[in-house]
Amino acid sequence: MKRTNLKLRTKIALLSFSLVLISVLLVGIVIIEQISSSTEQEIGMRAMAIARTVAQLKDVQENLDTMNGSKVIQPVAEKIRLATGVDYIVIFNMNRIRFSHPLQDRIGTVFADGDEGASLKNQEYLSHAIGVIGPAVRAFVPIKTDEGTRQVGVATVGILTPTFSEIIQSLRFKLYISLLIGVLIGSLGSLYLARDIKKNMFSLEPQEIAKLLEERVAIFQSLEEGIIAIDTLGNVTLLNNEARRITGNDTDKIGLPLEDVVGIPGLVPTMLSGEVRENWELVINKTLVLANILPVRIKEKMAGVVLTFREKTEVKKMAEELTGVKTFIEALRVQNHESQNKLHTIAGLLQLGNDQQALDYIFSVTEEQQEIIGFVSRKIKNTSVAGLLLGKYNRAKELHAKLYFDPDCYLGDLPERIESSKLVLILGNLLDNAFEALRGRDLAEVHCLIFEGKELVISVEDTGIGIEEDNKDHIFEWGFSTKEALNHGIGLSLVKQAVDSLEGTLEVESGTWGTRFLIKIPLQGNELRGLGLV
């Protein structure tokens, strides 16, 4: 038979209802027990008071030693019993012979219930026992004569105690009302609680939530992108397997500061700024990645940030192709702009009838373009870097600046450890930074050297405004910039990360004459040098 699965709302309602019902019943039982105990205590005090009164009666004291004393004592005892409402008054002498009893045939018999012994020794006390007519609380008080010097008997007053069922019977109406109110409140509370929980769970059943969670975790862990989530304090709250692999170190990273996990100082303030950032090149654990930053908001309030990244080496060819395409498109745009200006110049010379000057101009322009293309093609064998340099050369012309390539430039086939994308990142950012420094300068020149010898040397020198002394220690910090515009202060930080990942060195010289960046990258990694292979 197929097992019926109750809905969460029904389960919560039934559980809460059961808990309330059991709680009410348990409380009721405790209260009844307390009532029973209090009732017995009150009964005992009442019985003791009546027994003391009986023991003080002269008729009782004087007739316990006579043969027919019961004829005097029994009417007195019955009169008091009926007046006080007690269940029985039994008076017996020192030989335990009863002189009074609610049952007439018991008079003259021996009192032998077993709890009377202490009373014959001049002690008064209460006793709980089952007598002839039922369970009762009995008070035993010695009867004395001769001004209290001689005991002649014992007065016993018994009051039947109500049973548990009798107490319930007497309180049944109040119990029913209390139980009904408790169950009603519990039921309403259970339904409200079940509805509220179901609402907070987006009306999903536990098994549905478990299934969704398993699916999401499986998808999350199988993604080729690394994903790291942080809270508003910058501590890691979640990361998947790919993020663990790229960041390295198998220790648990949950709860650690993000900067300790990815090794990029100053990244957290940028992430917590609330801006969406896409396709940033970062270096995490010496691995170049493309990263995206997405703030997480709940009800318009910042709850955290998600950092997604993908190892660029996994899509190396695609990245290089895209980089090359972008570079060549930029070069074509600049060339188109330059060509239009040159065509206008040639057209003007022809309209003026200066045919020879037009020809000379055409030859000079063609020669200059062919010269730079030929130089880059001969000296730079890596197509991505070559495309970048040609694009930046044309960009410099567009900015009315001069980009000079050192005659000693040479870059052959790169070793596998040096990725083209990292060189493009380094050169592109250094040249863009140099062009930016030339704005408003009369002498606008940039000198570039790329040389592959025992190590790869990159030098970019500009005639710009230089770097202020106070800023020299901060130019490689993430987000540091002298400009207030967004998306500045990133380029040099990326350059530093890329150089560090290639185990290279970076030196900066700056003054009123301009700025020079010198980078040296070993062609082989530390692991080979440590083995003495290079």
Which of 423, 395, 392, 415 has the alpha carbon at shortest distance from 494?
A: 423
List the beta strands (DSSP E) in 65-133: 88-93, 98-100, 125-131
> Is the pTM above the cut of 0.85?
no
* Alpha-carbon distance values, 209 to 200, 217, 328 (Å): 12, 12, 51
How far, in Å, CA of 139 to CA of 339, rounded? Answer: 127
Residues 262-290, mean pLDDT to the nearest whole number: 82
R_g of the chain computed on alpha carbons: 52
Q: Write out pLDDT tens, residues 38-50.
A: 777 888 898 899 9
Does residue 175 or residue 63 have the better pLDDT? 63
What is the model's pLDDT at position 519? 94
In the chain the domains, ranked by start, together with CATH numbers, are: 37-167 (3.30.450.20), 206-312 (3.30.450.20), 316-530 (3.30.565.10)
Checking if the pLDDT of 450 tops 90, the result is yes
Q: Which amino acid is at 107?
A: I
What is the model's pLDDT at position 261? 85
- The terminus-to-terminus CA distance of the chain in angstroms comes to 75
Residues 81-104, mean pLDDT to the nearest whole number: 89
Checking if the pLDDT of 485 tops 50, the result is no
How far, in Å, CA of 357 to CA of 365, rounded? Answer: 12
Does residue 354 or residue 322 have the better pLDDT? 354
What is the model's pLDDT at position 408? 92
What is the model's pLDDT at position 38? 77
Q: Write out pLDDT tens, residues 323-371.
A: 445 555 555 555 555 556 656 666 665 666 666 665 665 656 666 677 8
Which of 85, 99, 100, 3 has the alpha carbon at shortest distance from 46?
A: 85
DSSP, res 57: -
What is the model's pLDDT at position 186? 73
What is the model's pLDDT at position 363? 56
How far, in Å, CA of 247 to CA of 227, rounded? Answer: 11
- How far is C-alpha 533 from the chain's CA centre? 50
How far, in Å, CA of 449 to CA of 516, rounded? Answer: 11
Kindly report the average pLDDT of the chain as a whole number.
79
Checking if the pLDDT of 195 tops 90, the result is no
What is the model's pLDDT at position 164? 60
Checking if the pLDDT of 268 tops 50, the result is yes
How far, in Å, CA of 533 to CA of 318, rounded? Answer: 32
Helical H segments across 201-247, by residue range = 206-222, 241-247
Does residue 312 or residue 424 have the better pLDDT? 424
What is the model's pLDDT at position 355? 62
- Name the band, by pLDDT with cuts 50, 70 and 90, for residue 88: confident
Tell the residue number behind the tokens 């004569």, with chain if given.
Answer: 145
Does residue 258 or residue 165 have the better pLDDT? 258
Q: How many CB atoms lie within 10 A of CB 297?
A: 10
What is the model's pLDDT at position 516? 93
What is the model's pLDDT at position 407? 92
